[in-house]
Amino acid sequence: MKKYKYVAFYKPFGVLCQFSPEESGDKTLKDFDLPLEIYAAGRLDKDSEGLLILTDDGPFNQKLTNPKSSKEKIYNVQVEKIPTESDLDILRGGVKIKDYTTKPAKVTFITDPNFPPRDPPIRTRAKIPTAWLEIKISEGKNRQVRRMTASIGFPTLRLIRVNMGKYNLSELNPGEWKEINKKDIL
């Protein structure tokens, strides 16, 4: 019986979730000495940071990423301006984005989670405050969280996935990875 590999990786800002190099010169997963023949279970866009699970276990990958499986993903999101509870209630009810309506999200205010500084830093405006939110979703459409916050008038400045299934990012720093067990995730 094949022994599958499971890897937790803290994807830094500006890294593409692929191993093949880009003509643009962008960093990819290949730049982090990850084990061979594993693939991302889900993606994070180039502008997002945080937990990425990689594996060579295809059925597990499908189970973790298929929206029908309802595996929760948790994001810490810094938004421009300070939303009200009424604003967040819109996200909690599901929002229309392009041609679909998101499932209801669990959204709460959190204190600054004190992540390592991003390179390059987020843009800041002296007269416009920011807020940190924890957003829990069980789907993962392309740029979904960013589109959700923008749809209610609070653009995402920084987005970090901190949790997938049972696994939490807390043990890693940007660019670090470690092999984990399947039971640590599901």
Residue 115: half-sphere exposure toward Cβ, Cα within 13 Å: 28
The catalytically annotated residue of 26, 31, 45, 89 is: 45
Q: What DSSP string runs through 102-171? A: PPP-EEEEE----PPPPSSPPP-BTTB-EEEEEEEES---TTHHHHHHHHTT--EEEEEEEEETTEEGGG
Residue 44 · residue 11 · CB < 8 Å: yes
How many helices (H) and strands (E) the chain has is answered by 3, 13
- DSSP one-letter code for 16: E
Give yes or no: 31 in active site. Answer: no
Q: Which residues are catalytic?
A: 45
